[in-house]
Amino acid sequence: MVLFEKRRKISLALTGVILPTVIHQLNATSKGLDHLQVTKGNPQEAEVTVMYKGEEIRRHVVYLDLQECTCREWQVSGKPCPHALAVITTERPPDMEKYVNGYYSMKKL
């Protein structure tokens, strides 16, 4: 019971919908995405090309509204993969909280 009370107090002190550690992790990951090129098809879909030394290595399609990427990392982890982060950061201002699974929300504490 003591642990539940401690967790409840911590969750009341936190702001936002998603846990701050998850948001910090996504912000850190989004800093090193220079090797990804984004080509938008429409506002909710984009093709992300992975480049290495100026040559195309692989392409992935990102569906923001479905929270899916063809690499399948987003579907498995519930957090946007680097390809999805490359697309999300093209929005101004980028709102990463709406693309993270509810599993990482404050309500789950």
Structure tokens at 41: 């098809």
Which residues are CB-contacts of 72 (< 8 A; sequence separation ≥ 6)? Answer: none
| Peptide bond preceding 93 in cis form (omega within 30 of 0) | yes
pLDDT digits (tens, 9 = 90+) for 48-94: 999 988 888 899 999 999 999 999 999 999 999 999 999 999 988 88
Which residues are CB-contacts of 79 (< 8 A; sequence separation ≥ 6)? 22, 25, 26, 100, 101, 104
Model's pTM, two decimal places? Answer: 0.81
